């Protein structure tokens, strides 16, 4: 695939809409990662490791609730926008309904936080941090990424995303100086994100001719019903991958949470690698599966073994450089955090194991198997993490996350074998 790309004129490659979308999505993800890495040592120095852990714990809760706010629209809405690119009236109704639905869901999620904090007295150690973080729910609700993705005009939103993150970084430097100000960290991220999103919505209305209509509740209800499977799949996957910090919070003190969250952030950045590979090869794999099945298996094997080799290199490099990485990010020697990072270094490689299974499920339209696999993985992770964390603390949750990656690989293998043995034999034999 890459050899063929090299034979094309560079201008044609750059003008290709799909490649542009991929590049700008990569820019958005890269800028998020870069700002996250830069902000870590600044925050640890300003608010301390324990408050840093509580801020990240609040962020983990918000990100979980953002799955509710998104409700699968980030996957379904771009397709609807792409279909109706030339119909301004249909786009206007679609945009009005999707944003109305997401704002309604953000309001419900905020009420859940307020009732949990002030009614049920939950999240005792970080109640106010979490309440102030709820602004991020409305930042997620108003993010028009799905619209620009469907319109194949990603340049503006990628620039806006970078600008928002730079404002957040500037806010940390100017306003966060002591542990008592930790409640403002996530609030600023939500505030700057929401402000930029409002400007983007103004641009969509003024310069792209998208009108604002009264929400159609019947259409919203139908879209929520259609997206329910996507929502639960996303929720299960997110809990399985990112739920360790929340489970650890029930068994450990704030300082341990800070140590673990520092290592987890590094690993979750590296774990994006297999997800980006799936996004990159899926279109070509789908075409080959329909037109040349033997070529599909050959292509997938070629990519798979190269990705595994790079994943192994990534895991080894992460393990060996763990002390230096933690030293750079925290500007101090956090031995416990180094231990967590060295344990979790296996995660990127193990996540690469399942790339072939996921691609085969997608090209064969076996989304129901992905749904089953994601929830079986989620159930295993919650049980394993709860038991192991209660016994071994932070080390236990690391072992649970590592074993989850192995278990989901085996689950997908078994489900594929039970439902489509032809795929298993075609690829693995």
- The answer to whether residue 242 sits within a structural domain is no
Q: What percent of the chain has pLDDT over 90?
A: 37
b vs e for 352-380, b when ≥16 Cβ sit within 10 Å of the residue's Cβ?
bbbbbbbbbbbbbebeebbbbbbbbbbeb
Q: Are the beta carbons of 348 and 271 closer than 8 angstroms?
A: yes
- Host domain of residue 404: 260-428
- The answer to whether residue 251 sits within a structural domain is no
- The answer to whether residue 344 sits within a structural domain is yes
pLDDT digits (tens, 9 = 90+) for 133-178: 999 999 999 999 888 877 877 788 888 988 998 999 999 999 988 8
Mean pLDDT over the full length of the chain: 85
Residue given tokens 């499977």 in the structure block: 229
Are residues 178 and 288 located together in one domain of the fold? no
Are residues 277 and 367 located together in one domain of the fold? yes
Query: Which pTM value belongs to this model?
Result: 0.72
Last residue of a domain, one of 211, 226, 241: 226
- The answer to whether residue 254 sits within a structural domain is no
Q: Say how far apart CA 334 and CA 324 lie, in whole Å.
A: 10
3-class state of residue 3 by DSSP: helix
Segments in 179-251 forming alpha helices (H)? 183-207, 217-226, 228-242, 244-249
Q: Are the beta carbons of 252 and 84 closer than 8 angstroms?
A: no
Give the count of domains, the chain: 2
Band of the pLDDT at 410, cuts 50, 70, 90?
A: very high
- Is the Cα torsion angle 170, 65, 380, 247 positive or negative in sign? positive
Lowest mean pLDDT of 111-115, 122-126, 267-271, 275-279, name the range: 275-279
Are residues 218 and 279 located together in one domain of the fold? no
- The answer to whether residue 9 sits within a structural domain is no
The residues, ordered by sequence, that sit 6+ positions from 357 with a Cβ below 8 Å of its Cβ are: 409, 412, 413, 416
pLDDT at position 194, please?
Answer: 96
Are residues 159 and 299 located together in one domain of the fold? no
Here the tokens at position 164 are: 């928002």
Are residues 200 and 287 located together in one domain of the fold? no
Here the tokens at position 137 are: 């729910």
Are residues 286 and 149 located together in one domain of the fold? no
pLDDT digits (tens, 9 = 90+) for 21-59: 556 766 776 677 677 778 878 888 889 888 888 898 898
- The answer to whether residue 176 sits within a structural domain is yes
pLDDT digits (tens, 9 = 90+) for 255-309: 777 788 888 878 887 887 787 777 667 666 777 888 888 888 898 898 899 889 9
Band of the pLDDT at 98, cuts 50, 70, 90?
A: very high
pLDDT digits (tens, 9 = 90+) for 2-19: 444 444 444 444 455 555
3-class state of residue 207 by DSSP: helix
- The answer to whether residue 114 sits within a structural domain is yes
Are residues 209 and 283 located together in one domain of the fold? no
């Amino acid at each position: 695939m890459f050899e063929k790309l090299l034979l094309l004129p560079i201008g044609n490659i750059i003008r290709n809409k799909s490649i542009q979308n991929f590049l700008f999505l990569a820019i958005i993800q890269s800028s998020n990662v870069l700002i996250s890495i830069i902000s870590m040592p600044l925050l640890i120095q300003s608010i301390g490791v324990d408050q840093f852990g509580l801020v990240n714990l609040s962020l983990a809760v918000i990100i979980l609730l953002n799955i509710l706010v998104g409700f699968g629209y980030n996957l379904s809405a771009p397709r609807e926008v792409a279909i109706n690119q030339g119909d301004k009236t249909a786009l206007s109704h679609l945009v009005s309904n999707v944003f109305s639905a997401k704002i309604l869901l953000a309001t419900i999620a905020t009420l859940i936080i307020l009732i949990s904090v002030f009614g049920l007295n939950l999240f005792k150690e970080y109640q106010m941090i979490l309440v102030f973080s709820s602004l991020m729910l409305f930042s997620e609700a108003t993010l028009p990424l799905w619209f620009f993705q469907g319109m194949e005009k990603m340049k503006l939103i990628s620039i806006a995303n970078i600008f928002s993150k730079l404002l957040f970084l500037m806010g940390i430097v100017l306003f966060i100086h002591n542990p008592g100000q930790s409640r403002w960290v996530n609030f600023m991220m939500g505030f700057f994100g929401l402000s930029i999103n409002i400007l983007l919505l103004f641009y969509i209305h003024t310069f792209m001719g998208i009108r604002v209509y009264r929400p159609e509740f019947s259409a919203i209800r139908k879209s929520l019903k259609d997206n329910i499977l996507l929502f639960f799949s996303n929720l299960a996957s997110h809990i399985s991958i990112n739920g360790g910090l929340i489970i650890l919070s029930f068994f450990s003190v704030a300082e341990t949470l800070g140590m673990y969250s520092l290592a987890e952030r590094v690993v979750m950045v590296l774990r994006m690698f297999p997800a980006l590979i799936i996004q990159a090869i899926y279109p070509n794999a789908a075409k080959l599966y329909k037109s040349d099945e033997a070529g599909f298996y050959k292509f997938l094997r070629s990519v798979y073994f190269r990705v595994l080799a790079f994943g192994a290199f990534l895991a080894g490099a992460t393990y060996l450089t763990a002390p230096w990485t933690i030293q750079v990010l925290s500007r101090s020697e956090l031995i416990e955090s180094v231990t967590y990072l060295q344990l979790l270094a296996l995660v990127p490689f193990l996540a690469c194991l399942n790339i072939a299974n996921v691609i085969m499920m997608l090209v064969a339209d076996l989304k129901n198997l992905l749904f089953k696999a994601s929830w079986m993985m989620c159930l295993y992770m919650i049980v394993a993490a709860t038991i192991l964390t209660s016994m071994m603390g932070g080390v236990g949750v690391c072992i649970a996350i590592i074993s989850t990656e192995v278990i989901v690989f085996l689950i997908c293998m078994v489900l594929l074998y039970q439902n489509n043995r032809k795929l298993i034999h075609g690829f693995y034999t």
